[in-house]
Amino acid sequence: MNRLSPEEIRERGAAFPRERAAKKEKTLEDLPLSERGAVKLRFAPNPSGPLHLGHARAAVLNDEYAKRYEGDLILRFEDTDPRRVDPEAYEMIREDLRWLDVDWSEEVLQSSRFDLYYRYADELLGMGAAYVCTCPPESFKRHRDAGKGCPCRDKKTGHEEFEKMFNEYREGEAVLRLKTDLSHRNLSMRDFPIMRIVERPHPIAGDRRVYPLMNLSVAVDDHELGLTHVLRGKDHILNTHKQTFIFDLFGWEKPQYIHYGLLKIEGVMLSTSETGQGIKDGRYTGWDDVRLGTLAALRRRGIQADAVRRTMVEVGAKPTDISFSWKNLYAMNKELIDPHAKRYSFVESPKTLTIRGCPEKVVKNPLHPVSDMGFREIRLPEGEVRLLIGKEDFSARAEGDVIRLMGAYNVRISSKDQSGMEGVFHSMELEEARRMKAPLINWVVAGEDVPVKVLSPEGERHGAAEKALLHAGKDEVVQFERYGFVRIEDKNGAVVAVFAHR
RNA sequence: GCUCCGGUAGUGUAGCACGGCCAAUCAUAUCGGACUUUCAAUCCGAUGACUCGGGUUCAAAUCCCGACCGGAGCACCA
C-alpha cells in the first residue's frame, strides 16, 4: 500500500465536508461515573496490520467519548508479542485513525516499556504473588484442573528463577505465573501466566527474550496511564477479570470496564493474519484490495470516514451482538456524497446504436441535478449518429421500441443483432417520450468515449464513459448515472474507477 | 461440557434501572404514489417487531421463574 501524507489522506478520504446537523444525530449513552475533563480512554490495537471495520468500532467509540467528555484518548500499540508485529502496521494504523478523524493526545508503545513490566513482575515476586513455573503445560493443567498447585508454586527462590528466564531457560521451558485462587470456577483463572519466553528479537525493541503476556502489560499500563474507562469487546471479559485481579493485588483503583458485543460482518474477510497471508500468496492485491473490509479498502472505494463513524455511533457500545449491515453503511454514505457527486454517463460492456435521420442537437446536461455545478456539453451532428449504450439496456430492448436518449431525443429501434442496434430519429421532446412510456437511457458518443475499468468487490468491469469524465479530479467521488457511485482512482491512460455502491 | 452474557420489524436503533402516557421511536430496507431528462435525490403513503410459556400486578416490552435461541471465554495471542 502506498504511504500517504496526512494531507493526502484528508484529500482522498474527506473529499466532502462533514455534514452533521442535517438530521437528528443518534448519540451514545453516557458513560458511567464520568466527569467532564476527567475521562481518559485508550484505543489499543495490535500492530499486525491496518485497521478494519471491526477496529473502527473501538476507535470511533473511544474517540466519541473522549470528545464528548473533553477527555484524553491514548493510542497504545499492544506489541508485546514479537511474532505478531508488523513494523509497517504502526503507520498504517495512524493513517487509518487520521482518516477516521480520531484524535489522540498521546501515543504509547508497549514494546518500549518492557522494563516497567519486569519491575512489576519483580514486585509481584517479592510479594509472593507470582512464581516461575517450569512444568510442562500438560502437567500444570493436571494439577490446576484438580484444584492443586503445581510443584513450582511454593519455590522460595522466585527472583533467582525469574533471572534464569532471561539467560538460562529456553522458550517453552518456563513461565511466570500469578498465584490466584486455585479453586476458581473458571479454570483459566487459576494461576494464569503473565510472562513467557519467546526466543525472537522484537522488531522494534530489539534483543529480548522474556515478554509479558497481555494481562500483565495491559493491567500495568491501564493503571500507569490513569485510565478511567476501558471500552473493549466482550471477548475480553475474562481478561478483564484477570486484570482486575492484578489491580486488586496492588491495591489500584480500577477503571470502569464496558464490554460491547460482537459485530458480525458478512461477506468480507476481516482476519488480519489471513488477509496478510492472502496478500503474500497473491489472492489479494494488497491491504486496500476492494474486496476487503479494511478501512484502506473502504476509503479507496469512496466510502466517507464520517459514514463509518455514524454507523459505529448508531451501533453503540451495548453488549448485544449485532449484524453489521452494508446497506445501512451505504445508505449513510450516499447521504453524504450524493449532494456533491458530479454525474457522468457511463455504459458497461457497451453495444453500438446507430441512428439515422438525426437533426443536429447540442446536449447540455447538468453535472448535478440539484446543485449548481455547471454542465457537460455534447454536440450530436445532423444525419447519422453512432452511440454506445450499456449491455443491459441493449438486451432489454427489441425492434420497434422507442427509447429516450437522456438529454437528447427519442429513437425508434429499427433493427437489432448481436453486435448492435440501428434506429431512426423519432422525436425531440421529453413529453413525447413520457407519453409513450419510453425508457430513459444513458449513452456515450462512439469515438469520443473514454474507456473505464471499474473495480468492484464483485469483480472487474469494463465500459465507456463520456469524455467529460476527464474533467473529474483524481480521487473525486462521482456518480455514473443509473449505475452507482465510484471514486476516480486513476486517469493516466484508461480511467480506473472504484465502485462504492449504487 | 463448564462459566458468563444477551434476545424489540429484513438490518440497526429508542423505550427497560423508577411497570401504566407503548395498539412501541427513529433510520435503513421493501412496495406503491407524486415529482423529476438517472433505476439518484426529494416528498407522500404502506409493509413490518417486544423469542416462547408461566408468575406477580388493576396494569408488563419493562419485575420474577423456566424453556428455547444466539454469543463470548475456557492459550506460554491480543
**How would residue A9 be classed by pLDDT, with cut points 50, 70 and 90?**
very low
Please report, rounded to whole angstroms, the spatial distance between the CA atom of protein residue A29 and the C1' atom of nucleotide B59: 29
What digits encode the pLDDT tens for the residues A76-134?
A: 999 999 999 999 999 999 999 999 999 999 999 999 999 999 999 999 999 999 999 99
pLDDT at A339 over 70: yes
- Choose the weakest-confidence range: A8-12, A150-154, A164-168, A415-419: A8-12
A446: alpha, beta or left? (left if phi > 0; alpha if psi -120 to 50):
beta
**Portion of chain A with pLDDT greater than 90, in percent:** 84
- Region A41-52: mean pLDDT is 96
Handedness of CA A19, A24, A28, A32 (dihedral sign): positive
State how far the Cα of A50 lies from the Cα of A68, in Å rounded to an integer: 26
pLDDT at position A27 is 64
Count Cβ atoms below 10 Å from residue A402 Cβ, excluding itself. Answer: 18
Bases of chain B with protein Cβ within 7 A: 2-8, 10-15, 26-29, 36-42, 70-78
Report the number of secondary-structure helices (H) and strands (E) in chain A.
Answer: 14, 27
User: Which nt sits closest to A136, CA to C1'?
Assistant: B76
User: Which nt sits closest to A318, CA to C1'?
Assistant: B6
State how far the Cα of A233 lies from the Cα of A238, in Å rounded to an integer: 11
List the end-to-end C-alpha distance of chain A, in Å, as a whole number.
26
State how far the Cα of A171 lies from the Cα of A458, in Å rounded to an integer: 45
pLDDT at position A28 is 72
Give the CB-side neighbour count of residue A86, counting CA atoms within 13 A: 17
Contact A353, A391 (CB under 8 A): no
pLDDT at position A429 is 94
pLDDT at position A26 is 56
pTM score: 0.91
What digits encode the pLDDT tens for the residues A145-165?
A: 888 888 899 876 778 999 999
Count Cβ atoms below 10 Å from residue A491 Cβ, excluding itself. Answer: 17
pLDDT at position A156 is 66
User: Which nt sits closest to A332, CA to C1'?
Assistant: B28
Cell numbers 476481516 correspond to A270
What digits encode the pLDDT tens for the residues A200-209?
A: 999 999 999 9
Please report, rounded to whole angstroms, the spatial distance between the CA atom of protein residue A181 and the C1' atom of nucleotide B34: 70
**How would residue A35 be classed by pLDDT, with cut points 50, 70 and 90?**
confident
Backbone angles phi, psi at A179, to 5 degrees: -80, 115
**How would residue A428 be classed by pLDDT, with cut points 50, 70 and 90?**
very high
pLDDT at position A5 is 36
What digits encode the pLDDT tens for the residues A175-193?
A: 999 999 998 888 899 999 9
DSSP A267-336: TS---HHHHHHHHHTTSSSSTT-TTS-BHHHHHHTT--HHHHHHHHHHHTT-SS-EEE-HHHHHHHHHHH
